[in-house]
Amino acid sequence: MSKPIYVLNGPNLNLLGVREPEIYGYDTLADIESRCRTRLSGTGTDLVFRQSNHEGELIDWIHEARESACALIINPAGYGHTSVALLDALKALSIPVIECHLSNPQTREPFRHHSYVSLAAKGIVAGFGPIGYELAVQAVLAMLKA
């Protein structure tokens, strides 16, 4: 079996479905994980799906992904706008990195228009709600085939 795709989720995403549903929707993080697993069904590729409110734990998982993953999808949430440490960890990866956001940060407050994570990402999926994670998985699968 090939290495899994890591999907890492940053702070407050554990509150999906109840926190600002007018922006983030009503799907929970478990719903999104289920969507991703369904998308991978029959591909022979597994998924490691995690969430943390702690920057250091996300960094540890990124380090783990260096050896254990075939690609990384990350929704850094608020850390995308603030964390040079996440950027530095992501820059150490030789696997594809996709940045994923439920909302479109470019249509929100000005401080959300910049993402450090984008500097290390092969691509960005934003503004499509929960289906964006499925699009990110599809993009990873296409990159791995190429």
Give me the active site residues, please. Answer: 24, 101
- Let me know the angle formed at the C-alpha of 13 by 9 and 18, rounded to the nearest 5 degrees: 160
For the chain, the residue count is 146
Cβ neighbours around 108 below 10 Å, total: 12
The string of DSSP codes covering 47-115 is EEEEE-S-HHHHHHHHHHHHHH-SEEEEE-GGGGGT-HHHHHHHHT--S-EEEEESS-GGGS-GGGG--
> CA torsion 22→11→35→142, rounded to 10°?
110
Structural contact between residues 79 and 114, judged by C-beta atoms closer than 8 angstroms: no
Phi, psi of 51 (to 5 degrees): -140, 140
